Amino acid sequence: MTVNPLDWSLLHGAVPVLLLVAGWVSLLGLAVSGTPRWWTRRVPLAVLVAAALTALIVVAVDHWWHPFPEDLPNDVVRWIAIALLGLCLAAVRLPVLRRRGRVLAPVAAALVVSMAASEVNRHYQEYPTLRAMLAPRTDALPTGRTANTVAVPPGRTLSEVWRPPSGLPAKGTLSSVAVPGTTSGFRARDGYVYLPPAYRADPRPLLPVVVLMAGQPGSPADWVNSGGVQQVLDDFAAAHGGLAPVVVMVDPLGSELGNTLCMDSSLGKVQTYLAQDVPDWVRAHLQTATDRRARSIGGISFGGTCSLQLAVNAPQVYGSFADLSGQSEPTLGSHDETVKEAFGGDESAFDAVDPAHLMARRTFPDTAGLFMVGSADGEFEPQQRQMYAAATAAGMHTEFRTVPGGHNWSTFHAEITVAVPWLARQQGLIR
């Protein structure tokens, strides 16, 4: 275990085990008492209230509010119920406790809640450490351009003609950037740009660009904090003389829980944002390759679905895409609700931009697509196979891969580790 507590693992090792032990011991301590009245009245009351609150949360989240396209997983619901039970037991116990007990009961309840939060985090594997909850460390974005660039002859890859100069930095840089919706009017949150070591060379290689989107709920920072994409790109660059794609992590949601469907609809012009505003910003602020083949788009979950949407709705912009653990269609929870909320109930308007319908009507022989999913992802795996088959039938150059895991950030990290070199090959960066 590292010395700095910010770097202690929250997913493996001592910390989650200690939280489990402390949580269960605390729950047992809150539940046990020697008085008959406690067992016949107060414990049943606590159990009933916790069960009712859990049911209310599930109904509110999955059916009324519906902030996520999919329902809350059963494992997460169970831990919510345990956290609420700890709070309810503490609440019914406080009136009969003496002064010392009134201090210990809230502490015990807090440990139960901490245990439940830890296990929910282990389910999604979103925060591997406490440091992952903090804002990523960033550098200022370099805006200068070099007069000399590295040209790539026809039939060659950039890595075959690139010669890294001495003194090239070992790692790339990460910068926080605002990518405005100049044309779309979409109000995106700030994103991030990764520039590999070779970007700081002179002559500068004209590197390809990958646009990445996280899931929903989520933010661009998830790629750095939870997905470890900066380390993935640094490792790729270290193996290729400092070369790696320039990666622009953008926000297609507008807020943590927002769901724009990644379309141009009554919910916002997000397709225009990704197909026009983002490429325009890249051209204005970065010195990169500009041809279609050198532009790729990718994402996980909601972002994966979105990447396929852009590939078929704006094929002139993006030459390849990586759909990682995406869905069969953009959704607000149900098809009818999606069409009603985004298109006023107009099925033809939805069909005009839905990937499945577009791929059934036309072919995309100049587009390459990677479909990936966790082998234990029972909900998204069949949807990915369905979209892979549709894309292949539409003439795309496609590949389907699975990695161990379910629908969580451990799986997403494994997927992006595969996707980076795959996209780099499509872009002509490596052979």
What average pLDDT does this structure show over 154-181? 96
Helix (H, G, I), strand (E, B) or coil at 212: strand
Mean per-residue pLDDT over the chain, rounded:
94
Q: Considering the domain boundaries, does residue 297 fall inside one?
A: yes
- Domain enclosing residue 164, as ranges: 143-426
Q: Considering the domain boundaries, does residue 304 fall inside one?
A: yes
Helix (H, G, I), strand (E, B) or coil at 268: strand
pLDDT band at 99 (very low <50, low <70, confident <90, very high): confident
327-373, pLDDT tens digit by residue?
999 999 889 999 999 999 999 999 999 999 999 999 999 999 999 99
| 104 and 193 assigned to the same domain | no
Q: Any idea what the CATH number is for the domain that residue 252 is in?
A: 3.40.50.1820
Q: Considering the domain boundaries, does residue 138 fall inside one?
A: no
Torsion of CA 420, 424, 427, 429, to 10 degrees: 150
Q: Is the pLDDT of residue 54 over 70?
A: yes
pLDDT band at 1 (very low <50, low <70, confident <90, very high): low
State the Cα–Cα distance between residues 261 and 333, nearest whole angstrom.
11
Phi-psi region of 189 (alpha: psi -120 to 50; beta: other; left: phi over 0): beta
pLDDT band at 216 (very low <50, low <70, confident <90, very high): very high
pLDDT at 103: 83
Q: Considering the domain boundaries, does residue 339 fall inside one?
A: yes
pLDDT band at 379 (very low <50, low <70, confident <90, very high): very high
Q: Is the pLDDT of residue 68 over 90?
A: no
125-159, pLDDT tens digit by residue?
999 999 888 888 999 999 889 999 998 888 999 99
pLDDT at 331: 92
| 310 and 387 assigned to the same domain | yes
380-389, pLDDT tens digit by residue?
999 999 999 9
The string of DSSP codes covering 299-314 is EETHHHHHHHHHHHH-
Domain count, the chain: 2
What average pLDDT does this structure show over 4-16? 92
State the Cα–Cα distance between residues 96 and 331, nearest whole angstrom.
50
State the Cα–Cα distance between residues 381 and 314, nearest whole angstrom.
25
Helical spans, DSSP H, in 32-169 = 36-37, 43-59, 74-93, 99-124, 158-161
Q: Considering the domain boundaries, does residue 398 fall inside one?
A: yes
* Burial of residue 353, with CB atoms counted within 10 A of its CB: 0-12 exposed, 13-18 middle, 19 or more buried: buried
